[in-house]
Amino acid sequence: MSNLLSVRNLSVQIGAGRPVDDVSFEIKPGETFALLGESGCGKSMTALAVMRLLPPAARLIGGKVEYAAADGAARQLMALTEAEMRRMRGGGIGMIFQEPGTSLNPVMSIGRQIEEVLDLHLGLRGEPARRRARELLDAVGIPDAGRCLDEYPFQLSGGMKQRAMIAMTLAGEPELLIADEPTTALDVTIQSQVLDRLKQLQRERNMGMLLITHDLGVVERMADHVGVMYAGQLVEVAPREQFFSSPAHPYSKKLFAALPERAGRGQRLSTIPGRVPPLDTQHVGCRFAPRCSEAFADCAAIAPGWHAQPAGQQVRCHLYDPARMDMRQAENTAPPATAAHETPPPASPLLEVRDLKVHFPIRKGLLQRTVGHVPAVDGISFSLQAGRTLALVGESGCGKTTAGKAILQLVQPTAGSVQLGGVELTGLAGSELQPLRAQAQMVFQDPFASLNPRMRIGAIIAEGMRALGQREGVPERIAELLEQVGLRADMATRYPHEFSGGQRQRIAIARALAVSPKLLICDEPTSALDVSVQAQIVNLLHDLQQTLGLAYLFITHNMAVVDYLADDVAVMYKGRIVEMGNAEQVLGHPQHAYTQTLLAAAFTRMRGAA
Ligand code: SF4
């Protein structure tokens, strides 16, 4: 079968650096090629270069992109005029982006936006276009497609917006789909449904797909071939089975090692030290050398070439160069193991939640009269002991975040009891809650949104201490906390925007620890982070629990992290806990149909799972 897309030696320059450097791959009709790597490795820049949508600072300096449509005509995309290229985008080649909110027009109805594409690429207008738009919304699994046609983007949930975006992209009947992190912003079950739908549509239309992701689970589910990118270069290209059975490049192995898995419960996750170099870095030698645990003398000085492996893998690494193998024995890259943690539970629970309810009023009319209630949390009960982790899992909207806030009295419970250290919290107000704030803290999903951008880090960390009246030794405590979470004491004078996502989450954890709490409620603390950064934060939380004896209520939809970190699991569905128990038992032998669905959807690679 001939190639639908052939990318040859593609190179992009920004300043003195090459964020895309000599990248080559091909995609056949009906096949998916996944570009995998951390943020900033050049994956999206590669897709933008293929589509000729590079940002102004970037310049294409070499390479060919050939697109061979089903009509038999082969086109060199780099040689097309801008008008021809515009017809290609959204026509033969469709694109889906991570954040549908930025791609949908907020002031046009969904139907109108799809009809516009149908008009532009297929010349379809009026009633036939509306009928086709409805069929497309049906095809991507939007439940009430007729109503959705007249809705605006703000009326749709994240999952629905992403489906509408896919419908709009499919309206141009693309033969090639470029999907850049298409499901990263979605819940695991919605993610699963959207990926299933994409796969089905791909089969029906024999569509080729360039899939950009940092998620190994998505790659395993979708890809036929995998290309791992690091610092602008492909470093490994392999058929999916080969890649997952024996990843070859040290960077690929590190990506796998950073994944939480049940077999490693209680051990530190392997992390990738350091960070992806900035896009404008000029490189000498192997780009991964500063982070590679297998590097040897030649690595820093000589750039590695490609080496073919018998099973069809291509690897850009000196370890696969027979001429250099005698210079170094490959090291065992197994992640350092530490003793498994077994914290014997004390007799009385730190946190005891009984029949907790939060019902939000539905108000209507001019006078905003209450006409009913939404039961966001509908009678949940559990207990949590010091030094233990309880994971509260479920999709968005199931009530788990509201439950976390209600426990901390950040939203008022409608009914039920919350006891922390034997003290009843419901009904307390204002200054009565001060002692609670010292015992229980919350860490949020988006560390950037939760840190005041106008305050220095030191002041942010000190806020809680000062609120509790602590005046003595504050600078020393800030320095100690920053070091405890793996940052330097001198960083206290910087502002949040000067830090990466992972560092900001460390700062948020330091702020929470400032008042020496016994309980941390962590609301999706790793979901906005790359897998390697996620591993660092999960390790940090694990270490802090070991040294400080903290209890964690871990609110998440990431089953891999649950599998790794949790002692006990409570599964929430529509405001209620539908299953609860020991993590081994709930994850290994789920009893409730919803838990089974949730686990089936949690395709994130869980090596070692039963
Ligand atoms: Fe590591 Fe050297 Fe291979 Fe680069 S070439 S990945 S530094 S072993």
Phi then psi for residue 11, to 5 deg, are: -135, 135
From 228, 255, 284, 292, mutation site for ligand 1 pocket: most ligand atoms within 8 A of C-beta: 292
Q: Closest by alpha carbon to 264, among 335, 186, 201?
A: 335
What per-residue confidence (pLDDT) applies to 333?
42
Write down the residue that tokens 């008008």 correspond to. Answer: 83
Instruction: Give the contacts of 355 (CB within 8 A, at least 6 positions apart).
Output: 379, 380, 381, 415, 416, 417
Residue range 10-41, pLDDT digits in tens = 999 988 889 999 999 999 999 999 999 888 88
Instruction: With residue 113 as reference, give the H or E element that holds it.
Output: helix 110-122
Residue range 114-132, pLDDT digits in tens = 999 999 888 899 999 999 9
Of all protein residues, whose CA lies closest to atom 3 belonging to ligand 1?
A: 317
User: Relative to the CA of 299, which ligand 1 atom is closest?
Assistant: 2
Report d(CA 498, CA 494) in Å as an integer: 7
From 249, 319, 331, 333, mutation site for ligand 1 pocket: most ligand atoms within 8 A of C-beta: 319
Give mean pLDDT, residues 41-58. Answer: 91
The single-letter DSSP state of residue 562 is H
What per-residue confidence (pLDDT) applies to 341?
39
pLDDT band at residue 487, thresholds of 50, 70 and 90? confident
Of all protein residues, whose CA lies closest to atom 1 belonging to ligand 1?
A: 295
Query: Could you give all domains of the chain from N- to C-terminal order, each with its CATH number?
Result: 1-92+174-261 (3.40.50.300), 101-172 (no CATH), 351-447+517-601 (3.40.50.300)
User: Relative to the CA of 251, which ligand 1 atom is closest?
Assistant: 6
Mean of all residue pLDDT scores within the chain: 84
Q: Which of the two residues, 366 and 538, has the higher pLDDT score? A: 538
Q: Closest by alpha carbon to 406, among 375, 385, 435?
A: 375
* pLDDT of 89 strictly over 80: yes
* pLDDT of 204 strictly over 60: yes
Residue range 209-241, pLDDT digits in tens = 999 988 888 899 999 999 999 999 999 999 999
What per-residue confidence (pLDDT) applies to 265?
63
Q: What residues does ligand 1 touch, defined as CB less than 6 Å away?
A: 250, 286, 288-289, 292, 294-295, 299, 304, 317-319
Q: Write out the E strands in 207-250.
A: 208-213, 225-230, 233-239
Strand-pairing partners, residue 369, are 364
Work out the number of other CB atoms within 10 angstroms of the CB of residue 339.
Answer: 8
**3-state per-residue secondary structure call for 155-171:** HCCHHHHHHHHHHHHHH
H helix intervals, 514-566: 531-548, 559-565
Flag the least confident range among 26-30, 329-333, 500-504: 329-333
What percentage of the chain has pLDDT greater than the value 90? 35
Maximum Cα–Cα distance across the chain: 82
Write down the residue that tokens 């709009």 correspond to. Answer: 168
What per-residue confidence (pLDDT) applies to 100?
61
Q: Which tokens is 343 given?
A: 């914290």
Residue range 251-260, pLDDT digits in tens = 999 998 887 7
pLDDT band at residue 157, thresholds of 50, 70 and 90? confident
From 234, 287, 288, mutation site for ligand 1 pocket: most ligand atoms within 8 A of C-beta: 288
Q: What angle do CA 145, 89, 74 make, to 5 degrees?
A: 125
Give mean pLDDT, residues 131-153. Answer: 89
Report d(CA 199, CA 290) in Å as an integer: 38
Report d(CA 307, CA 267) in Å as an integer: 34
User: Relative to the CA of 286, which ligand 1 atom is closest?
Assistant: 4
Edge-to-edge strands of the sheet including 389-393? 440-443, 519-523, 551-556, 389-393, 568-573, 576-582
Is-contact 514 467, C-beta < 8 A?
no
Report d(CA 564, CA 412) in Å as an integer: 32
Give mean pLDDT, residues 489-510. Answer: 86
Give mean pLDDT, residues 517-532. Answer: 82
User: Relative to the CA of 287, which ligand 1 atom is closest?
Assistant: 4
Give mean pLDDT, residues 275-290. Answer: 85
Edge-to-edge strands of the sheet including 369-384? 369-384, 351-364, 415-420, 423-424
Type of residue found at 166: I
pLDDT band at residue 569, thresholds of 50, 70 and 90? very high
Give mean pLDDT, residues 243-250. Answer: 93
Is-contact 443 550, C-beta < 8 A?
no
What per-residue confidence (pLDDT) applies to 321?
87
Work out the number of other CB atoms within 10 angstroms of the CB of residue 1.
Answer: 7
Please give the distance, rounded to the nearest whole angstrom, from the Cα atom of residue 503 to the centre of ligand 1: 26
Q: Quote the distance between the C-alpha of residue 506 and its chain's center.
A: 17
Residue range 364-383, pLDDT digits in tens = 777 778 887 888 899 999 99
Please give the distance, rounded to the nearest whole angstrom, from the Cα atom of residue 328 to the centre of ligand 1: 11
Q: Which of the two residues, 438 and 511, has the higher pLDDT score? A: 511
Report d(CA 538, CA 325) in Å as an integer: 35
From 253, 299, 306, 309, mutation site for ligand 1 pocket: most ligand atoms within 8 A of C-beta: 299
Q: Closest by alpha carbon to 149, among 116, 120, 117, 109?
A: 109
Contacts within 8 Å (CB) and 24+ apart, 574-582:
574/378, 574/398, 574/399, 575/375, 575/376, 575/377, 575/378, 575/379, 575/380, 575/398, 575/399, 576/378, 576/379, 576/380, 576/399, 577/380, 577/381, 577/382, 580/382
Please give the distance, rounded to the nearest whole angstrom, from the Cα atom of residue 19 to the centre of ligand 1: 19
Of all protein residues, whose CA lies closest to atom 7 belonging to ligand 1?
A: 289
Q: Write out the E strands in 257-350.
A: 306-308, 314-316
What percentage of the chain has pLDDT greater than the value 70? 90
Sign of the alpha-carbon dihedral angle for 545, 548, 553, 557: negative
Is-contact 496 451, C-beta < 8 A?
yes
> Highest-confidence range of 245-254, 457-466, 523-532, by mean pLDDT?
245-254
Q: Which of the two residues, 176 and 531, has the higher pLDDT score? A: 176
Of all protein residues, whose CA lies closest to atom 8 belonging to ligand 1?
A: 295
Is-contact 351 422, C-beta < 8 A?
no
* pLDDT of 264 strictly over 70: no
Instruction: Give the contacts of 507 (CB within 8 A, at least 6 positions apart).
Output: 447, 451, 457, 460, 461, 482, 485, 487, 496, 499
For 59-84, b/e burial (b = at least 16 CB within 10 A) is ebeebebbbbbeeeeebebbebeeee
**3-state per-residue secondary structure call for 348-386:** CCCEEEEEEEEEEEEEECCCCEEEEEEEEEEEEEEEECC
What per-residue confidence (pLDDT) applies to 502?
78
Give mean pLDDT, residues 179-202. Answer: 78
From 255, 272, 286, 328, mutation site for ligand 1 pocket: most ligand atoms within 8 A of C-beta: 286
Q: What is the pTM of this model?
A: 0.64
Type of residue found at 271: T
Report d(CA 374, CA 383) in Å as an integer: 25
From 318, 321, 327, 328, mutation site for ligand 1 pocket: most ligand atoms within 8 A of C-beta: 318
Please give the distance, rounded to the nearest whole angstrom, from the Cα atom of residue 236 to the centre of ligand 1: 12
* pLDDT of 181 strictly over 50: yes
What per-residue confidence (pLDDT) applies to 99?
66
What per-residue confidence (pLDDT) applies to 604?
47
What per-residue confidence (pLDDT) applies to 528?
66
Is-contact 555 400, C-beta < 8 A?
yes
Report d(CA 260, CA 559) in Å as an integer: 9
Please give the distance, rounded to the nearest whole angstrom, from the Cα atom of residue 196 to the centre of ligand 1: 36
Please give the distance, rounded to the nearest whole angstrom, from the Cα atom of residue 294 to the centre of ligand 1: 6
Please give the distance, rounded to the nearest whole angstrom, from the Cα atom of residue 94 to the centre of ligand 1: 36
Is-contact 192 601, C-beta < 8 A?
yes
What per-residue confidence (pLDDT) applies to 468?
75
What per-residue confidence (pLDDT) applies to 338?
37
Please give the distance, rounded to the nearest whole angstrom, from the Cα atom of residue 60 to the centre of ligand 1: 27
User: Relative to the CA of 318, which ligand 1 atom is closest?
Assistant: 5
